[in-house]
């Protein structure tokens, strides 16, 4: 993962969120407060506006600065959650990193998201996508396999009952809908994997 790529990867992740904003809001209207797409779009646009200023900066700094934008601009819990993921990833990645460094940094960043959200996999959240993605990256899977795993993991939140986040207020009625945070997470991972190629 060369430094030159990081802006591109963040860029495609932001663009996919913007493209799917309506879908994410629709998912959130079923089991939440109908703002996930709107919020994530606001954050993604802020990140895209920031990226040109970060050209040539070290990968860790670019990730951290992007995370700060998400924290400041999203306006929902997903801001600090995705912001923490990006900021911690930025903090944990050495300047010149190998795949093993990235896998270790990703695990560390996902742990920080769990702490931030006081949550874990199994509660119908973005962590249900992050956890299997973490395992796929650690296992050395190629990008297309990681993408497939992430998208399937989001689909697998459909039959789950939410026990964290706004959807948990619905209890059993949260069953039968895909979690919007899991979906946005899978979409970004898929876009990043596509950009990395096979």
Smallest distance from the beta carbon of 125 to another protein, in angstroms?
11
**Cβ closer to another protein: 41 or 149?**
41
- Minimum CB separation of residue 111 from another protein in Å reads 16
Shortest distance, position 77 Cβ to another protein, whole Å:
4
Secondary structure in 3-state letters for 23-51? HHHHHHHHHCCCCHHHHHHHHHHHHHHHH
CB of 140 to another protein, least distance (A): 33
Complex with another protein: residue 167 or 186, whichever CB lies closer: 167
Q: Which is nearer to another protein, 77 or 196 (CB)?
A: 77
Alpha-carbon distance of 64 to 93, in angstroms, equals 10
Contacts with another protein by CB under 8 A lie at 33, 35, 38-39, 42, 71-81, 83-84, 116-117, 165-166
Is the Cβ of residue 67 or residue 132 nearer to another protein in the bound state? 67
Q: How far is the CB of 76 from another protein (least distance, A)?
A: 4
Cβ atoms < 10 Å from Cβ of 139 = 11
- Cβ-Cβ contacts under 8 Å for 59 (sequence gap 6 or more): 1, 3, 6, 90, 93, 95, 97
Integer Rg of the chain from CA: 16
> Closer to another protein at the Cβ: 87 or 191?
87
Q: Helix, strand or coil for residue 193?
A: helix
């Amino acid at each position: 993962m060369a430094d030159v790529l990081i802006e591109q990867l963040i860029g495609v992740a932001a663009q996919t969120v913007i493209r799917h904003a309506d879908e994410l809001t629709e998912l959130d209207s079923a089991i939440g407060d109908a703002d996930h797409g709107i919020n994530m779009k606001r954050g993604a646009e802020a990140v895209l506006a920031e990226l040109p200023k970060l050209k040539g900066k070290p990968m860790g700094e670019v990730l951290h600065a992007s995370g700060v934008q998400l924290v400041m601009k999203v306006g929902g819990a997903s801001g600090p959650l995705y912001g923490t993921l990006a900021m911690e990833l930025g903090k944990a990645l050495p300047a010149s990193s190998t795949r093993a460094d990235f896998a270790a940094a990703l695990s560390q960043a996902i742990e920080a998201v769990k702490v931030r959200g006081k949550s874990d996999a199994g509660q119908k959240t973005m962590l249900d996508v992050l956890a299997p993605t973490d395992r796929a990256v650690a296992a050395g899977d190629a990008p297309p396999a990681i993408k497939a795993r992430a998208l399937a993991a989001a689909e697998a939140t459909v039959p789950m009952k939410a026990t964290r986040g706004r959807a948990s207020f619905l209890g059993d009625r949260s069953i039968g809908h895909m979690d919007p945070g899991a979906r946005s997470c899978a979409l970004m991972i898929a876009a990043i994997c596509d950009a990395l190629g096979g």
